[in-house]
């Protein structure tokens, strides 16, 4: 597990002035990774690091031959159209590059003059997926979300008995994951009205978002081997924001007996920046299980996980309608929650996923599941906020919603704050719904 070190020091300032601005997502204590190129160019996509409102071009850093040792090897691997090789190198190399870049970007660095030409304004770039996501598993780690949704679909049995014993997940569709800015047509499929004798086919009527975190795996494991909980987070490269779009009416008809299918595989959207596990070290908090609930089985239990397995990553959701865009109005905030409420930790997800010998590859992704908090206003989906479509949500400009309409843009943001440490952020993930084809 990543420990707090000199890169987290709140006193650090950067010679990149925008990194020192109050409220920036990307101070020198963050240094997340993405894959980018200049807009409207034929450049190759390559790795970059966010610093203030700029991107540090790792290609330029490599060409200038400014780094040495493990940091140089890591930068060379990250100077690629996908970060899989870098992710697979492991904690030693991730930390070495983070430390070298932190020192190079600090006020007073001897490398300032050499690196100033390696900066590209974020306003001038476009992003690709940060890596090839070979496999994607979506978990279901918020007990508040699971209970709320279960009560809508199974009023007599909202929380199935296995939920408190095993981290529940399903194998998602990685081919339809896109980077922030993704626009997609409203999905079509079968639905069945409660009073109908047969299902019907057509565009979904209950399109929804899900407020999640994406968790990128780094160094993998061999097929047949499992990852012990004490080692689990050494295999986690970093985190992003993740919107797992959902067609609730398709879901209600198809999800039994095998779970999500067409209701989930038409689109999912990730934020471009990957905040490393090491950057999140100051925002860890203790994880606990209610004494009245079953305690984890031995393979899912450790002192380390109890003491610092939870992470206080705060997230919110905003909705921008076509009318808001045409009138220049700001997006309307719908809800805010935190990953600290998760019933299962990242380490428990990784360990359980591999306990049967399943192998991870660098760049594989886990979804956290919808992150709803204990209060209704902390719900991470419209399904919960509208209580299954029974209540209308009034937006700040007076428009109303129960589920998403064509033209709606959903914006999710994430950030971390803790006493004695600088605020860091994830940027945002945005996606827009187009009419059905």
Catalytic residue numbers, as ranges: 145
Question: How far, CA to CA in Å, does 223 sit from each of 102, 324, 355?
Answer: 36, 50, 11
Instruction: Answer positive or negative: Cα dihedral of 45, 134, 136, 310.
Output: negative
- Cα(185)–Cα(355) distance, integer angstroms: 38
Q: How far is CA 27 from the centre of its chain?
A: 19
Pairwise CA distance, residues 370 & 141, whole Å: 7
Q: Is 264 known to sit in a ligand binding site?
A: yes
> Six-digit token pair at 133?
């996501």
Q: What is the largest CA-CA distance in the chain?
A: 74
State residue 414 phi and psi, 5-degree precision: -145, 150
44 known ligand binder? no
Distance CA 368, CA 353 (A): 13
Q: Known binder of ligand: residue 255? A: yes
370 is in an annotated binding site: yes
Question: What residues have CB less than 8 Å from 322, skipping those under 6 apart?
Answer: 407, 408
Task: Identify the CA nearest to 315 among candidates 396, 261, 368, 378.
Answer: 378
* Residue 319: closest CA among 425, 207, 423, 213: 207
- For residue 268, say whether it is annotated as part of any ligand binding site: yes
Residue 212 annotated as binding?
yes
191 is in an annotated binding site: no
140 annotated as belonging to a binding site for a ligand: yes
Both tokens of 173, joined, read 């569709």
Phi-psi group of 16: left, alpha or beta (phi > 0 → left; psi -120 to 50 → alpha; rest → beta)? beta
In this structure, what is the dihedral angle of CA atoms 289, 292, 296, 298, given to the nearest 10 degrees?
Answer: 120
Measured between its terminal Cα atoms, the distance across the chain in Å is 46
Q: Name the region of 312 (left: φ>0; alpha: ψ -120 to 50; beta: rest).
A: beta
235 contacts 221 by C-beta, under 8 angstroms: yes
Measure the CA angle with vertex 411, ends 129 and 417; round to 5°: 90
Annotated binding site for Ca(2+): 138, 210, 212, 244
Annotated binding site: 138, 140, 154, 210, 212, 244, 251, 255, 264, 268, 370
Annotated binding site for Mg(2+): 244, 264, 268
Annotated binding site for substrate: 140, 154, 251, 255, 370
């Amino acid at each position: 597990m990543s420990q707090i070190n000199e890169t987290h020091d709140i006193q650090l300032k950067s010679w990149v002035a925008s990194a020192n601005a109050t409220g920036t997502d990307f101070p020198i204590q963050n240094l997340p990774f993405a894959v980018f190129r200049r807009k409207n160019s034929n450049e190759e996509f390559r790795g970059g690091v966010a610093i203030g409102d700029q991107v540090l071009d790792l290609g330029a850093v490599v060409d200038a031959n400014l780094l040495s040792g493990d940091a140089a090897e890591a930068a060379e691997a990250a100077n690629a159209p996908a970060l899989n090789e870098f992710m697979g190198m492991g904690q030693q190399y991730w930390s070495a590059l983070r430390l070298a870049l932190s020192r190079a970007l600090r006020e007073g660095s001897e490398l300032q003059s050499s690196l100033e030409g390696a900066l590209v304004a974020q306003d001038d770039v476009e992003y690709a997926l940060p890596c090839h996501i070979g496999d994607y598993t979506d978990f279901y780690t918020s007990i508040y979300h699971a209970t709320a949704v279960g009560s809508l679909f199974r009023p007599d049995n909202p929380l199935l008995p296995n939920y408190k014993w095993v981290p529940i997940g399903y194998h998602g569709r990685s081919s339809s994951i896109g980077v922030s800015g993704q626009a997609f047509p409203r999905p079509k499929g079968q639905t069945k009205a409660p009073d109908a004798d047969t299902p019907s086919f057509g565009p979904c009527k209950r399109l929804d978002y899900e407020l999640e975190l994406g968790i990128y795996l780094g160094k993998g494991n061999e097929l047949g081997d499992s990852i012990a909980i004490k080692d689990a987070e050494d295999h986690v490269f970093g985190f992003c924001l993740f919107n797992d779009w959902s067609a609730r009416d398709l879901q209600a008809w198809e999800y039994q007996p095998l779970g999500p299918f067409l209701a989930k595989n038409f689109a999912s959207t990730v934020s471009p920046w990957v905040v490393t596990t090491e950057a999140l070290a100051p925002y860890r908090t203790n994880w606990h299980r209610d004494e009245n609930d079953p305690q984890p089985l031995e393979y899912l239990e450790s002192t380390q996980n109890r003491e610092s397995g939870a992470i206080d990553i705060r997230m919110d959701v905003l909705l921008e309608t076509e009318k808001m865009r045409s009138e220049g109005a700001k997006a309307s905030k719908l809800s805010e929650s935190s990953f600290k409420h998760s019933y299962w930790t990242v380490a428990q997800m990784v360990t359980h996923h591999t306990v049967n010998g399943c192998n991870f590859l660098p760049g594989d992704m886990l979804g956290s599941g919808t992150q709803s908090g204990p209060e209704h206003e902390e719900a991470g989906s419209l399904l919960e906020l509208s209580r299954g479509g029974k209540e209308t949500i009034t937006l700040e400009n007076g428009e109303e919603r129960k589920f998403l309409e064509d033209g709606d843009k959903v914006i999710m943001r994430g950030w971390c704050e803790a006493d004695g440490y600088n605020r860091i952020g994830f940027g945002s993930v945005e996606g827009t719904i187009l009419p059905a084809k």
